[in-house]
Structure 1
Amino acid sequence: MQEASDIHPNVEPMQGPCPLALIASQPRAGSTLLQTMLGKHPDVVSAGETWLLLPLVYALESRTHGHPMPFDGELADQAVDDFAKSMLPGGRRSIERAMATMVNGIFDQARNAAGQKILIDKTPRYYRIIDEILRILDDVRMVLLIRNPLAVFSSILDTWIRGNWPYIAVHRDDLLMAPVHLAVASECGDQRLRTVRYEDLTADPDSVLADLQRFLGLQPTGGLADYGEATQRRFGDPKGIGLHRSANAQSIDKWVCRAGQDPVHWRMLDDYRQMLGSELLNRLGYDDRQLADQLAQVRPKAVGLVPPLTTFLRSPVRSKMRRSLKSRIRLAQAISQRPTTPLTKSA
Structure 2
Amino acid sequence: MTRPAPPAPVFVVGHPRSGTTLLASMLGRHPDFVATPESLFLCQVRYQLGAARAKGPGAVTAAAMRGPLQYMIADGDAFTARLRAAAGDGPVDERTLFAALLEDYRAAHGATRVVEKTPLHLRHMDELSAWFPDCRIVWIVRDGRACIRSLQKVAWASSDAPRLARQWVRNMALGAALAPAAGPRLMTVRYEALIADPGTELARLCAHLGVEPAPGMAETARGTTVIKPTETSWKGKVTTPVDASRAEAWRHELSPEDLARVGPIMNDTLARLGYPTDPVRPTLETWRGRAATLPPVVRAQRWLFDRHRRVFGPRIGRHAGSGQKAS
Q: TM-score, normalised by structure 1?
A: 0.58
Q: How does 1:56-71 map to 2 (within 5 A)?
A: none
Q: 2: distance between equivalents of 1:48 and 1:275? A: 32
Change in 2 beyond 3 A, CA 1:57/1:242: closer
Higher relative contact order (CA 8 A, sep 6+): 2
Q: 2: distance between equivalents of 1:23 and 1:273? A: 28
Letter in 1 for 2:112: K
Aligned to 1:273: 263
> How far has the Cα of 1:166 moved from its partner?
5.8
Q: How does 1:1-347 map to 2 (within 5 A)?
A: 18-55=7-44, 99-160=94-155, 165=159, 174-186=167-179, 190-228=183-221, 230-231=223-224, 232-234=227-229, 238-239=233-234, 241-242=236-237, 245-259=240-254, 265-278=255-268, 280-289=269-278
- The superposition leaves residues 263-322 of structure 1 with CA deviations (integer Å, 9 ceiling, x where unpaired) of xx33223322311232x2223221323xx59xxxxxxxxxxxxxxxx9xxxxxxxxxxxx
Change in 2 beyond 3 A, CA 1:148/1:156: same
Q: 2: distance between equivalents of 1:234 and 1:53? A: 22
Q: In the alignment, is the contact (CA less than 8 A) between 1:150 and 1:273 conserved in 2? A: no
> How far has the Cα of 1:124 moved from its partner?
0.5
Q: 2: distance between equivalents of 1:237 and 1:277? A: 33
Q: Secondary structure at the match of 2:223?
A: coil
Aligned to 1:87: none
Give aligned pairs, total.
231
Q: TM-score, normalised by structure 2?
A: 0.61
Q: 2: distance between equivalents of 1:235 and 1:282? A: 36
Q: Secondary structure at the match of 1:152?
A: helix
What is the percentage of aligned positions where both structures have the same residue?
27
CA root-mean-square deviation: 3.2
> How far has the Cα of 1:33 moved from its partner?
0.9
Q: In the alignment, is the contact (CA less than 8 A) between 1:18 and 1:216 conserved in 2? A: no
- The superposition leaves residues 216-259 of structure 1 with CA deviations (integer Å, 9 ceiling, x where unpaired) of 22232123112215344246573464376332101011001113
Q: In the alignment, is the contact (CA less than 8 A) between 1:57 and 1:129 conserved in 2? A: no
Q: In the alignment, is the contact (CA less than 8 A) between 2:162 and 2:261 conserved in 1? A: no
Letter in 1 for 2:34: V
Consecutive unaligned residues in structure 1, runs of 5 or more: 1-16, 60-97, 260-264, 294-309, 311-347
> How far has the Cα of 1:165 moved from its partner?
4.4
Change in 2 beyond 3 A, CA 1:195/1:24: same
Q: Secondary structure at the match of 1:128?
A: helix
Letter in 1 for 2:198: P
* Higher Cα Rg, which structure: 1
Letter in 2 for 1:148: D
Q: In the alignment, is the contact (CA less than 8 A) between 2:136 and 2:209 conserved in 1? A: yes
